[in-house]
Amino acid sequence: MTAASQASRAENSLGKIWFVGAGPGDPELITVKGQKLLAQAGAVLFAGSLVDRAATMWAPEGCTIRDSKDMTLEEMTAWLIEQAAKHATVVRLQTGDPGLYGALIEMARPLVDAGIEWAVVPGVSSAMASMAAAGESMTLPEVTQTVILTRVEGRTPMPEGEDLASLAAHRTTICIFLSITLLHKVETALRAAGWPEDAPMLVVHKASWPGEQKILRGTLADIKARCREAGVASQAMIVASPTLGALHWETLVRSKLYDPTFTHRFRKASA
């Protein structure tokens, strides 16, 4: 292949677009793979309204960096396609995990039509970061082994059968996204599902964000007032769970995996 043909092929080739989960806010919670991709990116489109710009500190000098907070979906996909014609690696940096409450599929479809390769790098969700910040566990033996990730209906309607009252009837751990301004609806749904007024509640504002994180504990009866007093009205995770506060319970059912009387393939039970 001649130098001219190599140059022509390089000009006509398209880069790869990576949808990278930046995590919940702390730039150090991005995955190693995500960090490496940012370090080699020629262009980065990041969600400035949700992702701390410090997350782009891994991008190299000369990288084209664009904040997407004022862009429509069509403008974002057009920008990504334009950058893929210029750079081998283009990163769409999203808050949390790209596959959870994002526009991943909506953005990927035009890329497929344009013949552009794309892939996803998962990220730490704010649900996990919130429970970690509060020192809580989502599951406990014989308490709950199920976690529901959901939201309250607002301008985005919920599919049939997914209203919060129906989900809350299972009495499992429920992580409620994008709903802090609709906390009154959360309370109404939990009460309709039979949760008592003293059911423990957790709200974490900007989980893991350096210097900005707030952890609020309360009950179904008073969590709304606690949020109002703390000025928490955005970017907060609401958790309702029968596991909350377990650190201070008098007794716990022991995990079978680490019980000396429990046999598994790596250890035989002791007498």
Q: Tell me the pLDDT tens digit for each residue of 78-88.
A: 999 999 999 99
Degrees to nearest 5, angle at CA 26 with 24 and 27: 110
Q: Would you place residue 201 in the very low, low, confident or very high pLDDT band (cuts 50, 70, 90)?
A: very high
Distances (CA, A) of 251 to 59, 105, 141, 245: 49, 45, 12, 12
Q: Tell me the pLDDT tens digit for each residue of 29-68.
A: 999 999 999 999 999 999 887 787 777 889 999 999 999 9
**How far is residue 173's CA from residue 153's CA, in Å, rounded to a whole number?**
19
Written as six digits, the tokens of 254 are 């022991």
Residue ranges per domain, the chain? 14-121, 126-245
Please give the CATH superfamily to which domain 14-121 belongs: Tetrapyrrole methylase, N-terminal domain (3.40.1010.10)
Cβ 190 vs Cβ 184: under 8 Å? no
pLDDT tops 60 at residue 225: yes
Please give the CATH superfamily to which domain 126-245 belongs: Tetrapyrrole methylase, C-terminal domain (3.30.950.10)
Residues near 215 by beta carbon (within 8 Å), at least 6 away in sequence: 133, 134, 202, 203, 204, 205
Beta pairing, strands 200-205 & 214-219:
antiparallel
Question: Among candidates 78, 80, 83, 81, which has minimal Cα distance to 94?
Answer: 80
Q: Dihedral of the CA atoms 9, 11, 17, 22 (nearest 10)?
A: 130
Kindly report whether the global pTM for this prediction surpasses the value 0.75. yes
- Which three-class secondary structure state does DSSP give residue 220? coil
Q: Report, as an integer, the average pLDDT of 10-16.
A: 74
Distances (CA, A) of 231 to 63, 109, 141, 153: 37, 39, 35, 22
Length of the chain (residues): 271
